[in-house]
């Protein structure tokens, strides 16, 4: 059985402990019928990586390989693969329940894979999949925004936490519609970044949002993308959102929600979880491959740009621990990529 | 000042008390700039009438005129009215915060009015506005169902409480799409009615919904229209709905909701309140006039049918009290109309 290098963990430990994430050798994955085996060139890390690690309070018997975003080359194909060939350059965000991309090789269902953007280096393409899938599903599928709807000229989207990975992707995608984009950030570098991504207005999420929006001349907010804490912003959203508005959140809550407060305005609320399609193997799971392909084309056309801000070199436990430290600090602007 | 007859109430009283709803004389309304004054021919009653009456625990100083649905003739127009002329036959569901349709004449903003269906008697057209607006906004605007989407062939909509006014409208509208419609009912006459409206499957809401849907061969439910009690059905909906599904509810809750239970499946939840647009005077308030016109055309084409099942004759306090008794009993199938 051919072997590969991977970085694993068995339980949450301080990142200063070199057993928190460690290098180990394991078998190369073997493909299921619709799987590609991809030789990975670059990955990026996401807050969900840190959350999954933090949630592992008891020791696993076998090391678990984390990691979602990846760019690489198709190395082997399952018997029923139809979309890709050995040697193709691909990118994907992977599955929540399969071994991840902190490894030299990974198995991934072809339906959630797309050709990597042709004009982007692997380190740039690796910043894209999870965040842009989340942003696309939120804005295009859940809010039903369209790239060609002139009615959006009169509408405003508020992105709470605009300078993180998903926020950066969402600002850019929203800019391809005609909607006005307000994003929140608080540090000088994150404010600067949100503007660079294309936000029309940047406001501070530590101060009253509605007051700041009024100061900016916004009449109200029709869409809210909540990327920080639904609980923390629930009352503010209740006040500032326009009737018939839509709220999408990707952040879990640990309290019940007084949903009745949103009835009079006939508000729509959508949970977004990028892994839902592959987790439940939905009939439309291949939409994720299609969305990633559309995003790749927009990147190649220069209409979207990668969000990589930090690049580490080499698949090492030390790099993974350092990357997780930055995730825990919650100070990243844009995305952190590890190039193998 | 010209006078008219109206039926009013000042506070909730037993319907056996002839001061619960009583006849009184009052001034004819005078139009605001965009108002029509309509001479009413027929009205229908809705559960919201009974709820508004029940909520009035203290005595009002002036009698309040309830009533939403109305069909009638334009008697006078405000200075800025552009869509209608005196003598036009119109229908509408009115506003939550203006005097209602239990009266000979009523003022209504032209933006939420449409020409009445040409081929329907007033007693039939009066059954339409509130319920069809609610159903249309729920299915077409909130669930984004389309009359021409072949993908809906593989989808299922569950309507909880399918034989009431909104349920009857929703089954019919859903039938104009290609979606499979499951509706709940429990009494023999309501089961029969839901089938007559066009439900593919009728199940009993007093028994486990998912088990019954499985027996009927449904793979799962993609859309739920909750018309009875979100609290009561929350856990069942959580289990039976497909990932990425959409729930629309028109019924308030008096407890917090464990919304996190819907995160993994990435569920969309929408409150529908037909009065939101006129209550908040939204920029797109005229959509309600457009929707009612589309519904009128579908009625004239025979693609929809009125839901009137009970007709009373005459605008009398006695009829209103009898109508409210039937609303309180919650035993109505289809709609109750009062023809003046």
Label each residue of A84-100 as H, E or C.
CCCCCEEEECCCCCCCC
Taking the CA of residue B55 and the nearest CA in chain A, the distance in Å comes to 16
The answer to whether the CB of A34 falls within 8 A of the CB of A86 is no
Q: Do B254 and A260 touch (CB under 8 A)?
A: yes
Q: What is the DSSP letter of A5?
A: E
Amino acid A220: pLDDT: 86
Per-residue model confidence as pLDDT tens digits over A138-154:
999 999 999 999 999 99
Mean pLDDT of B181-201: 96
The answer to whether the CB of A159 falls within 8 A of the CB of A226 is no
CB burial of A281-298 (b: ≥16 within 10 Å; e: otherwise) equals ebbebbbbbebbbebbeb
Residue A243: list chain B partners with CB under 8 A: 276-277, 279-280, 282
Longest dimension (CA), chain A: 65
Transcribe A119-136 into DSSP letters: TS-HHHHTTSHHHHHHHH
Query: Domains of chain A by range and CATH?
Result: 3-128+278-339 (3.90.180.10), 132-271 (3.40.50.720)
d(CA B202, CA B183): 5
Residues 147-176 of A with CB under 8 A from B: 154
Q: How far apart are the first and last CA of chain A?
A: 23
CB burial of B153-168 (b: ≥16 within 10 Å; e: otherwise) equals eebbbbbbbbbbbbbb
- Per DSSP, the three-state class of A183 is strand
The answer to whether the CB of B221 falls within 8 A of the CB of B241 is yes
- Which of the four pLDDT bands, split at 50, 70 and 90, describes residue A326? very high
Q: Do A268 and B268 touch (CB under 8 A)?
A: yes
d(CA B278, CA A177): 28
Amino acid B217: pLDDT: 82
pLDDT above 90 (res A289) = yes
Neighbours of B1 (CB within 10 A): 6
d(CA A45, CA A127): 8
The whole model's pTM is what?
0.95
d(CA B74, CA B41): 11
Taking the CA of residue B2 and the nearest CA in chain A, the distance in Å comes to 36
The answer to whether the CB of A309 falls within 8 A of the CB of A336 is yes
The dihedrals phi and psi of B55, each to the nearest 5 degrees, come to -80, -10
> Helices marked H in chain B — which ranges?
47-55, 122-125, 129-136, 165-175, 188-197, 209-215, 230-240, 276-280, 287-300, 317-329
> What does pLDDT average to over chain A?
96
| B282–A contact, CB cutoff 8 A | yes
Q: Which of B137, B88, B81 is nearest to B111 (CA)?
A: B81
Amino acid A123: pLDDT: 98
- Chain A: residue nearest B277 by CA? A243
| B269–A contact, CB cutoff 8 A | yes
pLDDT above 80 (res A218) = no
Instruction: Take residue B332 and report the two structure tokens written for it.
Output: 């109505």
pLDDT above 90 (res B1) = no
Nearest to A267 among B252, B267, B271 (CB): B271
- Tokens 């009052």 locate to B26
Amino acid B330: pLDDT: 85
- Which of the four pLDDT bands, split at 50, 70 and 90, describes residue B338? very high
Q: Which of B130, B158, B172, B180 is nearest to B249 (CA)?
A: B158
Residue of B231, B263, B285, B291 to mutate when probing chain A, most A C-beta within 10 A: B263
Residues 246-265 of A with CB under 8 A from B: 252-260, 262-265
d(CA B233, CA B226): 8
d(CA B72, CA A84): 64
B96: which residues sit within 8 A by CB, 6+ positions away?
Answer: B275, B278, B279
Mean pLDDT of A314-320: 98
Q: Do B253 and A268 touch (CB under 8 A)?
A: no
Write the CA distances from B318 to A50, A178, B298, B315, B324, integer angstroms: 68, 56, 34, 9, 10
Q: Which burial class, exposed, middle or buried, applies to A261 when counting CB atoms under 10 A from its CB (0-12, 13-18, 19+)?
A: middle
- Chain A: residue nearest B245 by CA? A270
Q: Which of A268, A223, A275, A161 is nearest to B263 (CA)?
A: A275
d(CA A150, CA A95): 36
- Chain A: residue nearest B269 by CA? A269
- Which of the four pLDDT bands, split at 50, 70 and 90, describes residue A1? confident
- Which of the four pLDDT bands, split at 50, 70 and 90, describes residue A85? very high
Per-residue model confidence as pLDDT tens digits over B211-264:
999 998 877 899 999 999 999 999 999 999 999 999 999 998 888 888 899 999
Amino acid A256: pLDDT: 85
Amino acid A134: pLDDT: 98
A108: which residues sit within 8 A by CB, 6+ positions away?
Answer: A35, A36, A38, A70, A92, A94, A95, A98
Per-residue model confidence as pLDDT tens digits over B156-189:
999 999 999 999 999 999 999 999 999 999 999 9
Amino acid B197: pLDDT: 97
pLDDT above 80 (res B60) = yes
Residue A95: list chain B partners with CB under 8 A: none
d(CA B209, CA B234): 12
B105-109 vs B35-44, strand pairing mode: antiparallel
Taking the CA of residue B33 and the nearest CA in chain A, the distance in Å comes to 24
Instruction: Take residue A208 and report the two structure tokens written for it.
Output: 């009253």
CB pairs under 8 A between A and B: 101
Per-residue model confidence as pLDDT tens digits over B33-56:
999 999 999 999 999 999 999 999
d(CA A7, CA B217): 45
pLDDT above 80 (res A219) = no
């Amino acid at each position: 059985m051919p072997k590969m290098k991977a970085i694993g963990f068995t339980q949450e430990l301080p990142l200063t402990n070199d057993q928190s994430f460690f290098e180990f050798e394991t078998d190369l994955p073997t493909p299921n019928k619709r799987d590609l085996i991809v030789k990975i060139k670059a990955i990026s890390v996401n807050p969900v990586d840190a959350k999954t690690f933090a949630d592992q309070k008891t020791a696993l018997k076998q090391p678990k390989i984390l990691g979602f975003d990846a760019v690489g080359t198709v190395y082997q194909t399952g018997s029923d693969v139809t979309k890709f060939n050995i040697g193709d350059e691909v990118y994907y965000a992977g599955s929540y329940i399969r071994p991840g991309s902190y490894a030299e090789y990974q198995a991934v269902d072809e339906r959630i894979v797309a050709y990597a953007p042709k004009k982007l280096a692997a380190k740039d393409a690796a910043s894209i999949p999870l965040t842009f899938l989340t942003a696309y599903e939120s804005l295009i599928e859940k809010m039903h925004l369209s790239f060609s709807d002139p009615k959006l000229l009169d509408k405003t989207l508020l992105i709470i936490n605009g300078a993180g990975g998903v926020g950066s992707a969402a600002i850019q995608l929203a800019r391809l519609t005609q909607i006005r984009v307000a994003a929140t950030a608080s540090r000088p570098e994150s404010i600067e970044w949100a503007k660079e991504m294309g936000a029309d207005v940047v406001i501070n999420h530590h101060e009253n949002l509605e007051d700041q929006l009024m100061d900016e001349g916004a009449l109200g907010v029709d869409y809210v993308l909540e990327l920080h804490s639904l609980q923390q912003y629930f009352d503010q959203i209740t006040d500032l959102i326009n009737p018939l508005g839509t709220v999408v959140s990707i952040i879990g809550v640990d309290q019940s929600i007084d949903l009745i407060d949103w009835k009079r305005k006939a508000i729509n609320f959508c949970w977004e979880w990028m892994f839902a399609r592959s987790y439940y193997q939905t009939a439309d799971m291949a939409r994720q491959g299609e969305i990633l392909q559309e995003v790749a084309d927009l990147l190649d056309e220069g209409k979207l740009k990668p969000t990589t801000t930090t690049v580490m070199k080499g698949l090492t436990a030390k790099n993974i621990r350092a990357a997780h430290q930055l995730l825990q600090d919650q100070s990243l602007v844009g995305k952190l990529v590890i190039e193998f």
